[in-house]
Amino acid sequence: MNIEQLQSTIKAITASGKGILAADESTGTITKRFKSINLESTEESRRAYRDLLFTTVDLEKYVSGIILFEETLKQQALDGTPFPKLLADRGIVPGIKVDKGLIANESAPEEKTTQGLDGLPERLAEYKALGARFAKWRVVYNVTDTFPSRIAIHINAEQLARYAAICQSQGIVPIVEPEVLMDGDHSIEQCAVATEHVLDHVFDSLAKHHVISEYIILKPSMVIAGKDHNKQASIEQVAEETIKILKRKVPAAVPTINFLSGGQSNEAATQHLNTMNQLSNTPWNLSFSYGRALQSSALKTWGGQKENVKAAQQQLLKRAQLNSLATLGKYEENME
């Protein structure tokens, strides 16, 4: 384990006023997003889009790290520079999604688990040689009257811990991402209970696998009602409930919590983060690791057209800047 490498990466990621851009959409996911703008998903169109994101002028002022998909990690920018080098030269830390996606949980078939542990040490060595300094592994939990089940919570926690331990052994900082999904009609209270159980088991498993808390990035969902619930909580209630559960279950040694947006609107994701940073002092850096909540307006503006690149980059930069302000508790709605 290279402690100096882990320390250096954490220091860069947690720079004040900065967060993480999640640009690690799988080929299937990016194909769906391109379909929304009537663009065919090809290796070249995906490369052009990632080039648009990564070459945005001044992005490094607000983004400290970017999570890449394996294809992107191995691609070059339009000027021939490998994407990881392009980012590193701008002071942005390259990261990599290492899980292989969701599959049915054999022990709880109606719930999901994540695949990709087989061969992970070898893949990490390859990714590190290509420039990746941190990694991401996502597990998900549905919320109903009976889900998430105890077995699903246990299996997913073990997976996250095994992955994190392998990452740290190779000097790569792991993003630990337990996502309690917004899908469904559950209340914010149900989400809070599920989130508390999930985090309890995740950190218990991390400890059992000797994962060092100081060298992880926690990427949780916020405590929020299901998107089909008939009573949506206020911005303040979501922020208060989220902080309450985090204070109960997340060790103070964890350096940073970079929230996922999880299907929230651009504005709501920013407002929730801002309010959490205004509420009270916490032992952690509270920031973002957003995908759609940073990219959606840029993607729509671009539309696959070269002449729209600069306008799309301005949309990305605007959302990055607003979320940067939210990490400092200085965002205001009239800035939209």
CATH number of the domain enclosing 89: 3.20.20.70
**pLDDT score recorded for residue 1:** 79
Q: What is the mean pLDDT of residues 64-91?
A: 98
> Mean pLDDT for the chain?
97
The 10 Å Cβ neighbour count of residue 314 is 14
Helix (H, G, I), strand (E, B) or coil at 202: helix
Tell me which DSSP letter residue 36 carries.
T
Asked if residue 106 has pLDDT above 90, the reply is no
219 catalytic per annotation: yes
Reported confidence tier of residue 109, pLDDT bands at 50, 70, 90: confident
Q: What is the mean pLDDT of residues 147-172?
A: 97
Domain that holds residue 128: 3-335
Reported confidence tier of residue 108, pLDDT bands at 50, 70, 90: confident
Q: What DSSP line would sit under 236-259, residue for residue?
A: HHHHHHHHHHHHHHS-TT--EEEE
- 205: enclosing H helix or E strand: helix 188-208
Choosing from 177, 179, 241, 249, the catalytic residue is 177
- Residue pLDDT, tens place only, 266-306: 999 999 999 999 997 899 999 999 999 999 999 999 999 99
Considering its fold, how many domains does the chain have in total?
Answer: 1
Choosing from 18, 97, 112, 219, the catalytic residue is 219
**pLDDT score recorded for residue 81:** 98
**pLDDT score recorded for residue 3:** 96
Q: What is the mean pLDDT of residues 48-63?
A: 98
Asked if residue 186 has pLDDT above 90, the reply is yes
Q: Whole-prediction pTM value? A: 0.97
Let me know: does 313 contact 56? Beta carbons within 8 Å.
Answer: yes
